[in-house]
Amino acid sequence: MFFNRSVTGLLAAMSAASAFAAPYTPADLGNELTRFGAIAAGNEAGTIPPYDGGLKVPAGLKPGDGQWPNPFEGEKPRLRVTAANADEYAEQLSSGQMKLLKQYPDTYYMDIYPTHRTAAFPEAFLAATERNAKSPECKTINDGLSITEDCRGGLPFPLPESGEQVMWNYILNYQGINGWDWNHSAYVVNQGHATLTNTNQSTGEKPYYQIGVDGRDPAMAQRIWSRVVAPARTAGQASGYWDYLDPVKSSRYAWSYTTGQRRVRQAPEFNYDTPNSAFGGVAFYDEIFLFSGKMDRFDWKLVGKKEMFIPYSNYKLKWGCDMDTKLMPNHINPDCERWELHRVWVVEATRKEGVRHAQSKRRYYIDEDTFGAAVYDAWDDSGEMFRAGAQYNIQAYGIPNNPQQDAYSLYDFTRSQYGMFGNGPTRYRDKPIAEREANPQTIAGGQTR
């Protein structure tokens, strides 16, 4: 069911993104809405609670070395969705979830846990988000493909009115100011066999939130770079990409370094539906973290908001299950996953006429609290399911205290294989990295710490 201002009313799907009218105003932020634009109230059934400020961490629970102990350890599922009862919950399931349930009825299921609205944000982010809701200067330009620098510091569109605005909220969702470092491992399971395709030491940051930091380009949205440490045949290679708030004016700057050539070169192929070799070909470059890059090859329609079963608080999946336990022959071990009922924004992307892309249609389910891309489906030219994905969030409590979404999965139904990406510890930095250390030549030389 889709929601209007009364929370439980029906909101019809719109024929075009521009026709969608947001039912709220800036005055509703901090009242009927949270300060970041989510519906503050719970649902009538009581299965989604009201927002009360975010995760309340049990006393004595502290993050370890790049890992966060599970604050919901021992909590039991409230229901289990299987192939036998999936039709009963069809409105809360994506096409990809339904396909997995029906295709593997003997081994795949979804345990639905009590819903916890864990998202919490710092005051500076919330204040900038409220400012953006009132400011006519914070807006999309170039038919939604770009946004203005006036939005910097907060969620750009807490009251989104188009599919592009929701996707910009996702691209720029808040995960801390200073950036993060992680050991990012990618596994691909093909014909029942798991292969480690890549382990790298990665760094990411969003200069969009780094206002006043020396050397930061205010036009830059985010940048991510990594250095491969395994397998041995590719160890020492490095790559990265910088994305901008106006990709029409400044397209993605992508680069790579190979140990054989011993030089940094630009990598314009790190875009769109080019298969990502580091992920064993299971992901396109514009499927990194479920979506990455420029939106110009699709038309984006904001369908509305609805209740969905999405991955949430997946501390167990990320750190409580080892890889041998986590990766089953056809799918991720469902005993390691945690699903909760949350409200999501639904955005449909349809390939534009006359452009090339391997997928004809995509659908994104964006969590209303964190603006993480929780669930993703894609179809090919014949209308058959191509891929489905999920992004597994946690709340990184302590200092800092912010949502984290670096682990995700993709199922490739055309080749009957899947990938699990983002396994390993994550460490948030206590200060921004020096601009000189983000230089590709420096990164390639292995001098970044």
Tell the burial category of 354 from Cβ atoms under 10 Å away from its Cβ (0-12, 13-18, 19+). Answer: exposed
pLDDT at 153: 98
Dump pLDDT digits (tens) for 331-377: 999 999 999 999 999 999 999 999 999 999 999 999 999 999 999 99
What's the pLDDT score for residue 449? 39
Lowest-confidence segment of 19-33, 39-53, 309-323 by average pLDDT: 19-33
- Residue 215, burial from CB neighbour count under 10 angstroms (0-12, 13-18, 19+): exposed
Phi-psi category of residue 445: left, alpha or beta, with phi > 0 → left and psi -120 to 50 → alpha: alpha
> pLDDT averaged over the chain?
93
How far is Cα 434 from Cα 449, in angstroms, rounded to an integer? 10
* pLDDT band for position 22 (cuts 50, 70, 90): low
E strand map for 359-425: 361-367, 373-379, 385-396, 402-412, 417-423
Structure tokens at 313: 């608080």
For the cut 90, the answer to whether the pLDDT of residue 159 exceeds it is yes
pLDDT surpassing 70 at residue 448: no
The confidence band for 247, taking pLDDT boundaries of 50, 70 and 90, is very high
- For 283-340, the pLDDT digits (tens) are 999 999 999 999 999 999 999 999 999 999 999 999 999 999 999 999 999 999 999 9
Quote the CA–CA distance of 267 and 255 in Å, as a whole number. Answer: 5
Report pLDDT for 311: 98
Which residue segments constitute the domains of the chain, with CATH numbers given? Answer: 79-117+165-444 (2.50.20.10)
Say yes or no to pLDDT of 121 above 80.
yes
Residue type, 38: A
> Poorest-confidence range of 22-26, 98-102, 278-282?
22-26
Task: Provide, rounded to the nearest whole percent, the portion of the chain with pLDDT above 90.
Answer: 88
- C-alpha to C-alpha distance for 389 and 96, rounded to whole angstroms: 8
Give the β-pairing of 110-112 and 79-81: antiparallel
pTM, full prediction? 0.94
Cα of first residue to Cα of last residue in the chain, in angstroms, is 48
For residue 20, what are the contacts with CB-CB under 8 A and spacing of at least 6?
A: 14, 161, 162, 301, 302, 304
For position 262, what pLDDT does the model report? Answer: 87
